[in-house]
Structure 1
Amino acid sequence: MTDDMTPEQISRRTTAAFDAAVGAGRDLGLDVADAKVLYELFSVVVHLAPSPVVARIPVVLPGSTDLDSLARRQQEELDVTRWLADQGVPVTVPSPLVPREPVRRDGFSMTFWAFVEEDRTAETDYVANAATVPDLHAALRSYPGRIPFLSSAEPWFVTEGLERLGERPDLIGPQDLDRARREWRILEPLVSSREAFEKRFPGIDVQTVHGDCPAANIMPTVDGALYADFEMVTSGPVEWDMASLGPEFREAYDRGARSNGMRPLDEDVMRFVDAVGALRTIAFLSLTPHLPDLAGYLLPMVEQWRRTPFAAGLEG
């Protein structure tokens, strides 16, 4: 069994990421005299103050993710957000003060973003946010870049995570793990192949989507709300962006879709993306050694998964 990182080890990891961001920013000609950490979880986010630049440094990654594959995903995010901004979509943007590309330093790969002041008085209404997601999807339909199909599902990571969890019966018991692996054998082909997905769900269009619950990734700023955190940008059905959200959110999405000519959510595809999302949640338990608090967030979702039909009824 792999030992979980201690608070001291996590602190050293954060410090290393901070130092790498400060050093990279200085090398790029930025004034970083008052740099500070804004946030840390899967990534460490550093405001390179007094420069209006924020560095985001991923620090908790699947074991098989290398810097090359991470940099490719980061470049996709930089390209998509810059393109959206050029179309007039309200979105957080790459910093114009540095080259628009990932920077590697001290074993990290990081991206740099324009600093925006968050409106801390704003009350977040996630259901209202869900009603605006079709607007984002409408804009992304014409994105000219090529994004891999359901790359944010990370099927290789789910396979890897379910394998590693065999060594962590404290996180998931053998009966649950056996069910998860059997479900994944059914779902993985539909995640890994656009052709297989389109055969199983004929008539469902595939396009560029946010990839990571955009309704929860709208940042309130003093200049208005901005779509943010496109680091999981992918191509797939629009349902992917609404996975694991309840009926109220889906009804809000459909209202927004009707208002701008987008199609409503498809129930069969929703069951599919919900099932894949549940298995991704279980696979994320394998990252607990790197982020011990993670289990507390994920285990209630595993309990909910136990009450769902096997593979969301898609085994037929």
Structure 2
Amino acid sequence: MSNQLTGATDLRQRAHQILDEACSRVGLDPTGAELLRLRSNAVFKLRAPIIARIATAPTAAERLPAVLAVTRWLADRAFPTVRPADGITEQPMNVDGATVTFWHYIPTAPAPATTADLGRLLRALHTGPTPPFQLRTLIDPLASIRATVQHQPGVLDHDDQVWLSDRIAGLTGAWRTLPFREPPTLLHGDAWIDNLLRHQDGHVILGDWDSVALGPCEWDLIHSYHGERRFGLSPTDVDDFATTYGDDLREWDGYESLMQIRDVYAIGIHIRNAPGDPFSHQELTHRLNCLRSGDTRTRWHMKDA
């Protein structure tokens, strides 16, 4: 992978600039905004209290109207989800190429949510109805990283770009032959324990619906099993998840192929962020080395913020 960071920008500074402009447009005060997360999205807590989320992915403007619609629909059905802030009609909002949305703030309890909580919520989501409006269908989960590899010159060196393109092509073929067991259902799309919030009153809420779609439930399930291999979840965490969901993906014939697809999918954000984020640049190198060597067990890392 290339070691050059030419044209790098300060992601944190740019996120604050976008936040200031977005708040100005809707009459919110960005003074003292707290940066909670800087990964695929920059997430700020305002004094209001409202959460502002800034997405920089090229497809965000196209996807986020559906995210707002689905979360409003789920909230109206009493599903425990984050919901868009009331009274802000100008969203999603384009600011300097980024897409901004505003959400109700969830006051959280110190006790973390668990994989059992996630399994319970996903079972309710997957066995419930689908929205009465059009949603995208998850046909090709590697489409975004395929486009990223092709359109990020200077981030990947030639050998890495060729290897990754070939790997994506092979796994795309594998996806098309996976023996999915159920009809398409409503997917969260990024069903990872970090996207759960435990409210101060004790109940657990599912957030970060940016990847919502219709598709095979296995795509939501694989995240927790992948978390054991790469992100420090324990075998007990995964067993608890499988028990509460009521199905163990490890018993499915397509398990290993889907795990490999998820492994490649999980480096896309770091290819996109590497030009302006030293952590992503370093983590991309680490993850690529694992993939190219066939190492399926070495721990990967997440940014704290």
Give your verdict on TM over 0.5.
Answer: yes
CA distance in 2, matches of 1:229, 1:202: 25
Whichever residue aligns with residue 307 of structure 1, its letter is G
- Aligned partner of 1:54 in structure 2 is 51
Cα 1:274–1:4 change in 2 (3 A) is farther
- Aligned partner of 1:314 in structure 2 is none
Cα 1:190–1:221 change in 2 (3 A) is same
Cα 1:296–1:141 change in 2 (3 A) is farther
Whichever residue aligns with residue 90 of structure 1, its letter is P
Query: What is the Cα-based RMSD across aligned positions, in Å?
Result: 3.2
- Aligned partner of 1:146 in structure 2 is 134
Q: Give matches, 1:5-154, under 5 Å.
A: 9-26=10-27, 30=28, 32=29, 34-41=31-38, 42-49=40-47, 51-59=48-56, 61=57, 65=58, 69-99=59-89, 101-119=91-109, 121-125=110-114, 127-138=115-126, 140-150=128-138, 153=141
Cα 1:214–1:82 change in 2 (3 A) is farther
Cα 1:215–1:132 change in 2 (3 A) is farther
Cα 1:200–1:128 change in 2 (3 A) is closer
| 1:4-46 residue CA offsets vs partner (Å, 9 max, x unmatched) | 565x7334312212212321231xxx4x274513324132223
Count of aligned positions: 280
2:188/2:212 contact within 8 Å kept: yes
Cα 1:211–1:283 change in 2 (3 A) is same
CA distance in 1, matches of 2:98, 2:163: 36
| 1:176-198 residue CA offsets vs partner (Å, 9 max, x unmatched) | 6554332322222565xxxxx3x
CA distance in 2, matches of 1:78, 1:151: 21
Alignment partner of 1:188 is 2:172: yes
Instruction: Quote how far apart the aligned CAs of 1:283 are.
Output: 3.6
Instruction: Quote how far apart the aligned CAs of 1:84 are.
Output: 1.1
- Aligned partner of 2:188 in structure 1 is 210
CA distance in 2, matches of 1:109, 1:166: 23
Alignment partner of 1:289 is 2:287: no
1:36/1:46 contact within 8 Å kept: yes
* SS of corresponding position for 2:80: coil
* SS of corresponding position for 1:110: strand
Cα 1:152–1:187 change in 2 (3 A) is closer
CA distance in 2, matches of 1:299, 1:221: 37
2:53/2:100 contact within 8 Å kept: yes
CA distance in 1, matches of 2:236, 2:11: 37
| Alignment equivalent of 2:148, drawn from 133, 158, 161 | 161
Instruction: Quote how far apart the aligned CAs of 1:221 are.
Output: 2.1
TM-score, structure 2 as length reference: 0.77
Instruction: Quote how far apart the aligned CAs of 1:164 are.
Output: 5.4
2:155/2:275 contact within 8 Å kept: no
Whichever residue aligns with residue 42 of structure 2, its letter is V
* SS of corresponding position for 1:153: coil
| Alignment equivalent of 2:218, drawn from 224, 239, 244 | 239
- Aligned partner of 1:279 in structure 2 is 264
2:140/2:172 contact within 8 Å kept: no
Identity across the alignment (%):
20
* SS of corresponding position for 1:245: helix
* SS of corresponding position for 2:43: strand
* SS of corresponding position for 2:210: coil
Instruction: Quote how far apart the aligned CAs of 1:248 are.
Output: 4.6
- Aligned partner of 2:245 in structure 1 is 257
CA distance in 1, matches of 2:195, 2:145: 23
Alignment partner of 1:229 is 2:230: no
Whichever residue aligns with residue 47 of structure 1, its letter is K
Cα 1:216–1:105 change in 2 (3 A) is closer
CA distance in 1, matches of 2:22, 2:153: 36
| 1:195-227 residue CA offsets vs partner (Å, 9 max, x unmatched) | xx3x65264421121001243311122133211
* SS of corresponding position for 1:111: strand
| 1:37-57 residue CA offsets vs partner (Å, 9 max, x unmatched) | 3324132223332x2322211
Please identify, of 88-97 and 246-255, the stretch whose mean Cα deviation from structure 2 is larger: 246-255
* SS of corresponding position for 1:235: strand
Gaps of 5+ in 2: 229-234, 297-305
